[in-house]
Structure 1
Amino acid sequence: MSDLGFLQKLLEGAEVEWMPLGTVTAYEQPTKYLVQSKNYDDRFSTPVLTAGKTFVLGYTDETNGIYEASKSPTIIFDDFTTANKWVDFDFKAKSSAMKMITSSDDEKYHIKYIYHWLNTIPSDLVEGDHKRQWISNYSGKTIPIPCPEEPEKSLAIQGEIVRILDSFTELTAELTAELELRKKQYNHYRDQLLTFNEDEAEWKPMDEIGEFIRGKRFTKADYRDEGISAIHYGEIYTHYGVFAHSTLSKVRSEMADSLRFAEKNDVIMAGVSETVEDVGKAVAWLGEEKVAIHDDSYAFRHVMNPKFIAYAMQTNAFHDQKGQFVSRGKIKRLLIDGMKKVKLPVPFPNDQEKSLAEQARIVAILDKFDTLTTSLSEGLPREIELRQQQYEYYRDLLLSFPKPAEVVEA
């Protein structure tokens, strides 16, 4: 790669000083940028951000307290998880645990260089540690600053590293933007497909379609490499998609008599979550074996196409109904007696053969969209993953400055 040879020439003879992140950065609390309304709509213009995997939670019409990252780009940093994102567009913040990180001196330290370096630091979070990570941990970690006594040359070197790495991230960003567009198209098309004329479908309460079966408790201490296949409620919204044939987790075999199981074609629902959006999220279980389910989840047993039901439970129509039956404490909990009243469309209810054929037709169409937008073996997510791996390889190569033995991390 010719850029690497050029960079080696640029670095020739340059001294590197390892400086604390707390010295080269400044941070701001998000208090005055926090979104007030949860009335998100894609038609609104200002994104609401989290530093986590979701990143853009939605869009708000609020006009006050907007962080103008289009004028001064920033790193958003989750103070509890250490997840972070580069942001160069205006936004509102969702969480008070998020910090906005900027350069302490733009004439010495390139904020995008700091961002790239930040993501080479391995996570050393300890489970159950609720400290604010930036002040207690990350601000003491060190970053290599080339020839800090010559700020102009230092910025040139930092800027060249940023230019090379950005050439990789730009393609990833283009693919990610295309993926987001495809997801919006998919969501719109899914809702359209699952909207029926009166003579085509009947909207029936879920307790008329099937029955809810609550799982039984197991804990992390019960997990094993081999044992009974199990689905924990949290995995439904962090790991699984619309359907699954195998499980992420297994629990102790000797627990069999104390567990409750979902069967093939059941739809498994998360009973609790930290957000209204995630509670009630569903995965159609298509595996041949029975699978243990946690007591904060439910198996919905029915005679319809399981993937049709799982797709129907992603629609805006379903979420609007579901929202009436979710407790609104810190932990959101599904009120299952209310959920029994939520209605799902049953196409051609008086002709089961025709109904199942129509369900299968809709599922086949939605499966194609789902593959394009979620599959890690094909489609856009796979392409994005490959580009990310390429970026990480060159990032680690470009930022592999030797660290003197006397440098001690926080």
Structure 2
Amino acid sequence: MIKPNYIEKLLDEVEVEWKALGEVTLPTSNIKWRETKDTYRYIDLTSVSRETNKIIKTTEISAEDAPSRAKKLVIKNDVIFATTRPTQQRVCLITEEFSGGVASTGYCILRAKTNEVLPKWIYHYIFSSDFKRYLEENQSGSAYPAISDAKVKEFKIPIPSLKVQEEIIRILDSFSDHTAELTAELTVELTALKKQYEYYREKLFTFEEGEVEWKSLGEVANFRRGSFPQPYGKGEWYDGDGAMPFVQVVDVGEDMRLVQNTKNKISKLAQPKSVFVKEGTVIVTLQGSIGRVAITQYDCYVDRTLAIFESFLVNINKKYFAYQLQAKFAIEKDKARGSTIKTITKEEFTKFLIPIPPLTEQERIVSILDKLDALTISITEGLPREIELREKQYEYYRNMLLSFPKEEVED
């Protein structure tokens, strides 16, 4: 952990000059396509991961198949910054692997004058709260906000000595590396736990031949699809006095529960055109994120992209049924139709077969799965919380380390 007094000492009476990015970076050139069929790595706006700030994919292009936006040559230690939706801060420091590649014109290329500023100094400062505020104030457009390269290069950054830059970069890199390591460790732990959960669930759902009766969903339960008046976007269908929670696919969590507050509330006018569902009803998503199961914890109305199980035709534990439904859809959803939005029809899942052991055995299975589920959910929820806390800590120290007095540059 870095002690605040160390930071204060490091920054105490540091001489700093404020310069525009354009003053401390070199001009860059566009590609001049060769006559040969040489290929280049093309870095487009989907190439850079916002999570890791690294290039995750590129395409190979030549002069013959190059997109019109593939123009900007990049070399090692260039900082590339996406000027489309700039507040998302899609940023990357070019490594040796991608040196000599071609970036889309949607990137601003910042090539440091290394006798004045280190490339990583620019890279880290782009994540500062000051720069983010500058982007918010200077981007234009609503549907596709953007900022020009020229405007990016007008932004002024503090330039302390190279020695001070090196020390601050060292501290920020150590924080960044530690955060990445922690995230990787927690992700591995979570993946292992989920595999263990799936293993035990499969073991619990494995029965010897003749040990249980297998029935189709159509033989086990009465069900129907939800509904909603069309068109979806009509304002009078939402909110107002007497509005009720309206459950869509997005409102079904991965813990067999609905979210606390649904994305939309259905108006009193629209309610007769939808399907009312009582608290404690089993529902499952049939489109998009297929196979999310929930036992509703409040009264609500349900969209047509979900199936509602209204009553059971056999002696079955409701939670056991929900677990079986979840397990069955986990297998079958890969066969679902559609490319962008996957869909399973009511007719298709009516034929899904599930095992029906004695009620006492169902209750035993539910008890075990509930305990495993609680443990998995605890770690699943804890992972993003732990990462978020670490990122906030990193952001706090980053802003502290990059804060210098600005009196000298005020107009």
TM-score, normalised by the number of residues in structure 2: 0.65
Map of 1:44 onto structure 2: none
User: Of 334, 338, 351, which aligns to 2:358?
Assistant: 351
Select 2:349's aligned residue among 327, 331, 340: 340
Could you tell me how far apart the structure 1 residues matched to 2:390 and 2:247 are? 31
Give the equivalent residue in structure 2 for 1:82. Answer: 88
Is the contact between residue 186 and residue 383 of structure 2 (CA under 8 Å) also seen in structure 1? yes
How far apart are the structure 2 equivalents of 1:258 and 1:127? Answer: 42
1:82-231 mapped onto 2 (5 Å cutoff): 82=88, 84=90, 103-105=110-112, 107=114, 108-111=117-120, 113-115=122-124, 117-118=126-127, 120=129, 121=132, 124=136, 129-131=142-144, 133=146, 136=148, 140=152, 143-147=155-159, 154-195=161-202, 196-199=205-208, 205-210=216-221, 211-216=223-228, 219=233, 221=235, 222-223=238-239, 227-231=243-247
* 1:360 paired residue among 351, 367, 370: 367
Aligned residues: 360
Cα offset, 1:119, TM superposition = 5.5
Match of 2:276 in 1: 261
Q: Is the 8 A contact 1:24 1:105 kept in 2?
A: yes
Does structure 1 retain, via aligned residues, the 8 Å contact 2:128–2:399?
A: no
- CA distance in 2 between counterparts of 1:267 and 1:21 reads 63
Say if 1:258 and 1:64 are closer, same or farther in 2 by CA, change over 3 A: same
- Structure 1: how far apart are the matches of 2:174 and 2:258? 36
Deviation per residue, 1:328-385 (Å, 9 max, x gap):
1xx4141314651574754xx1412321331231122122122112x2xxx3433333
Q: 1:243 aligns with which of 257, 275, 284?
A: 257
Matched, 1:234 2:250: yes
Do 1:260 and 1:293's aligned partners in 2 also have CA atoms closer than 8 Å? yes
What is residue 399 of structure 2 aligned with on the other side? 396
- Measure, in 1, the Cα distance between the counterparts of 2:331 and 2:173: 41
Contact 2:77 2:111 survives alignment (8 Å):
no
Q: Hey, what does 1:150 align to over in structure 2? A: none
Q: Report the Cα offset of residue 88 of structure 1.
A: 9.3
- The change in CA–CA distance for 1:98 and 1:380 in structure 2 (over 3 A counts) is farther
1:51 and 2:45 aligned:
no
Structure with max Cα Rg: 2
Could you say if the C-alpha distance between residues 299 and 219 of structure 1 is closer, same or farther in structure 2, counting changes exceeding 3 Å? farther
Change (3 A) 1:355 1:82: same
1:185 to 1:208, Cα distance in 2 relative to 1, 3 A: farther
Deviation at 1:248, TM superposition (A): 4.1
Pick from 2, 10, 13 the counterpart of residue 5 of structure 2.
2
1:51 maps to a residue whose letter is: S
Q: CA deviation at 1:402?
A: 5.5
Q: Is the 8 A contact 2:243 2:265 kept in 1?
A: yes
How far off its partner does 1:19 sit?
A: 2.7
Q: Find the counterpart in structure 1 of residue 19 from structure 2.
A: 17
- 3-state DSSP class of the match of 2:144? coil
Judge which range, 224-233 or 332-341, deviates more: 224-233
SS in 2 for 1:327: coil
| CA distance in structure 1 between the partners assigned to 2:182 and 2:331 by the alignment | 31
1:73–1:16 distance in 2 versus 1, CA, 3 Å: closer
**Partner residue, 1:324:** 335
Name the residue aligned to 1:280.
Answer: 290
Tell me, in whole angstroms, the C-alpha distance in 1 between the residues paired with 2:331 and 2:404.
53
Deviations 1:110-159 (A, max 9, x none): 246524533631585999945374x6589637544333xxxxx5544443
Deviation, structure 1 residue 231? 3.1
Contact 1:144–1:401 under 8 Å retained in 2:
no
Counterpart Cα distance in 2 of 1:54 and 1:307: 39
CA 1:351 to 1:281, structure 2 compared with 1: closer, same or farther past 3 Å?
Answer: closer
**Aligned equivalent of 1:43:** none
Looking at structure 2, the residues matched to 340 and 178 of structure 1 have their Cα atoms a distance apart, in angstroms, of 38
Q: Secondary structure at the match of 2:207?
A: coil
CA contact (8 A) 2:251 2:259 kept: no
Distance verdict in 2 for CA 1:54–1:111, change over 3 Å: closer
SS in 2 for 1:251: strand
Contact 1:272 1:296 in 2 (8 A): yes
Compared with structure 1, are the counterparts of its residues 17 and 185 closer, same or farther at alpha carbon in structure 2 (3 Å cutoff)? Answer: same
- Which amino acid is 1:261 matched to? F
Tell me, yes or no, if the aligned pair for 2:241 and 2:268 is still in contact at 8 Å. no
Partner letter of residue 233 of structure 1?
A: V
- Cα distance in 2 between the residues matched to 1:294 and 1:28: 51
SS at 1:334 equivalent = coil
- CA-based RMSD: 5.1
The equivalent residue for 2:35 is none
Superposed CA deviations along residues 74-101 of structure 1, whole A, max 9, x for unmatched, are 778695582647689989xxxx999788
State how far apart, in whole Å, the 1-side matches of 2:336 and 2:386 are: 39
Identity of aligned residues (%): 22
Which amino acid letter does the alignment assign opposite residue 377 of structure 2? D
